[in-house]
Amino acid sequence: MNINREANFVAEYDVIVAGGGVAGVAAAVAAKRMGKSVLLIEKSIGLGGLATNGLVNLFVPMCNGRGVQIIKGMAEELLRLSVKYGYDTIPEAWQNGEPGNGERTRYVTKFSGPIFTLALIDFVHGEGVDLLFDTIITAPVMEGNVCRGLIVENKTGCEFYGAKMVIDTTGDADVLYRAGVPTVQGQNYHTYAPKSVTLDSCRKAAEAEDMSKLYGSFIMGGRANLYGGNQPEGKPTRGGTTVKDITEYVIENHIECLENIKDSDRRKRTIVTLPTMPQFRTTRHIDGDYVLQTEDAYKHFDDSIAAICDFDRRDYLYEVPYRTLTRKGFPNLITAGRSAAAAGYAWDVLRVIPPAILTGQAAGVACAMALDDGTGLDNIDICKLQKILESQDVMIHFDDALVPAKEEEDVNAGAEDHI
């Protein structure tokens, strides 16, 4: 039996972005704004990835907990877009920009996932990025370590799109893994949180005239948090990169959700939406040219592409080396978002929505630069990259004056819903 399929060549692009989560959106728009032809391929029928389809509707703090905004650039642009047509929960102090003055409330907001999805397509389409939905990327076509394009499957059939540069923002490093880039497999606790409402939450929202108070995760499957709290005893963790894992995850959590609602009054609560992608935090990330370590907090890196802050701890800062996105020897492949190279808690700080957007932005600019300069991604002029990102309002290096004299163990709220 011959199961090989022919792929029809469709088009060639300067840059193909694989996966339309927040990192992919940022990467695609960043490359497009540098004048490149860009195709963004997404397997679902909406943009935003975990932030929308995964029901993770919360931008974690983008400031240091003392009134200074650390994460800016396209993360600021997308945060504002996420609430432009829907509700927000931006604290009063941050409504009109950076408050300074040691302000302790953090710059964070919830947003409506579906409305953000709509706004994202308007944004990406408006920037002139080409889009393919309902299209799953199945394989990179490699010539040695150079990627010539991607094979995809969709309603039309099996297609091939040529690319000069490929940015893997699948969240699972699907493309780079299949291209032979070494990756690290993560393990996930048992988490499954649909968006649900109760008559009480509806009343509260109506009384406050505020839709942000409507939804909660009143009905859950797995309740584990990122630290493994509430993980059922003896329950194994899941990698999330096999179809068996994903199928079992869906079956178990759907049945568990149903069990959890059976005894409550069916007229007084309902599930508004189920996640349409698995709520796995860590699947696969690359073993990059540099792996950001937890103890790298407060370190400066010559090749930093962004300063980022922690969601839990006030003052806790990192710089993200460009090398966390690349692997030497693969001149036209790069990643961004939650598949960037980091370990331990540093990965947790790096994977969340605002940093994922910044790594996407950096990857998009890097690809455009590499094409302009006729060089590989592993050999670009970092100073030039930093200058371009700085001109786009990204903080590249944090000011040493922001580093606390003695690390303050100050766990800060503002990210209580998800993470």
Ligand X SMILES: Cc1cc2nc3c(=O)[nH]c(=O)nc-3n(C[C@H](O)[C@H](O)[C@H](O)COP(=O)(O)OP(=O)(O)OC[C@H]3O[C@@H](n4cnc5c(N)ncnc54)[C@H](O)[C@@H]3O)c2cc1C
Residue 195 touches ligand X, criterion: CB under 6 A: no
| Minimum CB distance to ligand X smaller for 137 or for 367 | 137
Binding window for ligand X (CB under 6 A); candidates: 155-163, 285-293, 351-359, 391-399: 351-359
Q: 279 or 326, CB closer to ligand X? A: 279
Q: State the helix-helix crossing angle for 344-351 and 353-373, rounded to 10 degrees.
A: 80
Which one of 15, 50, 291, 396 is in contact with ligand X (CB under 6 A)? 50
Q: For the segment 71-110, give every residue that binds ligand X (CB under 6 A).
A: none
What backbone phi and psi angles, to 5 degrees, belong to 9? -70, 135
Which residues inside 297-316 make contact with ligand X, applying CB under 6 A?
A: none
Of residues 357 and 369, the one with the C-beta less far from ligand X: 357
Helices (H), 127-217: 174-179, 199-208
Half-sphere exposure of 390 (CA within 13 A, CB side): 10
Task: Quote the tokens at residue 129.
Answer: 């990025």
What dihedral angle (degrees, nearest 10) is formed by the CA atoms of 245, 251, 256, 262?
A: 170
Residues whose CB is less than 8 angstroms from the CB of residue 117 and which lie 6 or more positions away in sequence, other chains included: 46, 47, 48, 52, 53
Q: Kindly tell me which of 161 and 376 has the beta carbon lying closer to ligand X.
A: 161
Q: Which of 170, 231, 304, 324 binds ligand X (CB under 6 A)?
A: 170
Q: How are beta strands 183-185 and 304-309 bridged, if at all? A: unpaired
Q: Which of 13, 14, 28, 44 binds ligand X (CB under 6 A)?
A: 44
Please work out the total of residues on this chain that contact ligand X, with binding judged by CB under 6 A: 39
Per-residue binding letters, 242-281, with ligand X (x by CB under 6 A):
-----------------------------------x-xxx
Concatenating the DSSP letter of every residue in 384-403 gives HHHHHHHHTT---S--GGGS
Q: State which of residues 169, 196, 253, 324 lies at the interface with ligand X (CB under 6 A).
A: 169
Nearer CB in complex with ligand X: 48/376 = 48
Could you say whether residue 338 binds ligand X (CB under 6 A)?
yes
**Residue 191 is a binding residue for ligand X (CB under 6 A):** yes
- Whole-Å CA distances, 108 to 18, 104, 219, 365: 28, 12, 24, 26
* Dist. CA 251–CA 258, nearest whole Å: 11
**Residue ranges in 17-36 that form contacts with ligand X under rule CB under 6 A:** 19-24
Binding site for ligand X (CB under 6 A): 19-24, 41-44, 49-51, 54, 56, 58-60, 136-137, 169-172, 174, 191, 277, 279-281, 337-338, 351-353, 356, 415, 418-419
